[in-house]
Structure 1
Amino acid sequence: MKLNLIVSLFTAIVLSFSVNAQKVTVAGAEFPTKMKISDKVVEYNGAGLRQKYFFNLYVAALYVPERTSNAQTIIDQNEESAMRLKILSNKVTRDKFVETVKDGFATSTEGKASESEIAEFMKLFNVEFKEGDDIILIYKPSSGIEVYMNGKHLGGAKGLAFKKALWGIWLGKKPADASVKKAMLGKV
């Protein structure tokens, strides 16, 4: 009886470690260590906390085919990849998010995104934002960027050049937040 109890406890402990090892927690936001995009598996590369005026706004995680700390490689590659943003504060409203991403496109040093492409892309976020929201930006070479919010598909934008401009907001030479870029590249 005692032996069965000990074996059961040991098994439960081992299983809890293996389940926990498949997730990474950053500033209270959990991310899986792998994501499946179409028939490809991408790996967690890193995640960074975006703060402003001492407020934790969101955590952005990066998923790539193969882990790397080279931002330019990630921006340029025409392979499945993803960014996942977990909203941590009610201070991140739809309007502020749209404004920030538009500003990011303006300063992104990568790729190309026309004003009309950016406007169409920003229309996808015509929903209210709240603490706990989960936004996933997925890049597929065959279809471009696909946007999901809380599991719901919102739409997308075509082309590698657009993906480069979008990824450049966080990973380019003039990132929105240098510490987030560094963390997403696993350089913490």
Structure 2
Amino acid sequence: MKPYQRMVRAVLVPAVCALATGQHARAVDLDSVRLDDSARVAGKSLVLNGAGVSRQLVFRIYAIGLYLMDRKVSAEEILATDGPRRIAIAVLRDISSDDFQNAVADHVSRGTQQHDHVTVRSQMAALVKAIARRPDGLREGDTLTMDWVPETGTVVQINGKPLVAPMPGLAFYKALLSIWLGESPADPSLKPKLLGRSLS
């Protein structure tokens, strides 16, 4: 194995193992990445629905896992459910707040109903500003979790610590999901993987 490959593997394995926390679980192997196959959100056990690694040129940027109460095979089913959910991202390469906005946040409005547009854009702006307040944005090795907690809202944490106050309204969480599961996803290669095709 080449030195660069060893370095990548050394980053991937410990970073992504931290994606799902709260209970011991079996691991799922994904392109030399190991993810727990379950997580716990709002007191409920969730299963890993799908996962993938986002790439830019030859670089791995982040690994992402989607956790649901029950396996779903379509984006429509996932967006329609209202139970606890988790989007977990292991950062594999430094991402500035500008890069985060360009790669992810700018896609948020595509899955938003017109009457929710202003609120959702405002909430996403608050999330981007919170990341911008961190001296170096998102750093390699960071773990970002975005949970939907019924009766609370969207709970965003970095490395297990709250990043912003909970954001009310299911529309914002659906807009987050649509970044990867919408008709024009930020990374088209990830959509089928988050729908579980890589785990079948």
Q: Matched residues in 2 for 1:25 and 1:98: separation?
A: 29
Deviation at 1:95, TM superposition (A): 2.4
Residue 46 of structure 1 contacts residue 62 of structure 1 at CA under 8 Å; is this kept in 2?
A: yes
TM-score normalised over the length of structure 1: 0.81
Residue 29 of structure 1 contacts residue 86 of structure 1 at CA under 8 Å; is this kept in 2?
A: no
Kindly indicate whether residue 159 of structure 2 is the aligned counterpart of residue 150 of structure 1: yes
Give identity over the alignment, percent: 30
Deviation at 1:21, TM superposition (A): 6.8
Q: CA deviation digits over 1:126-159, x for unaligned, max 9? A: 3222111110000012111100111111123111
Residue 88 of structure 2 contacts residue 143 of structure 2 at CA under 8 Å; is this kept in 1?
A: yes
1:139 is aligned to: 148
Of 70, 77, 85, which residue of structure 1 is paired with 2:74?
Answer: 70
Q: How many residues align?
A: 167
Residue 137 of structure 1 contacts residue 148 of structure 1 at CA under 8 Å; is this kept in 2?
A: yes
1:100 is aligned to: 103
Q: C-alpha root-mean-square deviation of aligned residues, in Å?
A: 1.9
TM-score normalised over the length of structure 2: 0.76
Rate the CA distance shift 1:21–1:34 in 2: closer, same or farther, 3 A. Answer: closer
Deviation at 1:110, TM superposition (A): 4.1
Residue 25 of structure 2 contacts residue 36 of structure 2 at CA under 8 Å; is this kept in 1?
A: no
Code of the residue aligned with 2:97 in structure 1: it is R
Pairs within 5 Å for 1:20-169:
22-90=26-94, 92-106=95-109, 108-111=110-113, 112-114=116-118, 115-125=121-131, 126-127=133-134, 128=136, 129-155=138-164, 156-169=166-179
Deviation at 1:103, TM superposition (A): 1.3
After TM superposition, where is structure 1 displaced by more than 6 Å over at least 4 residues in a row?
none
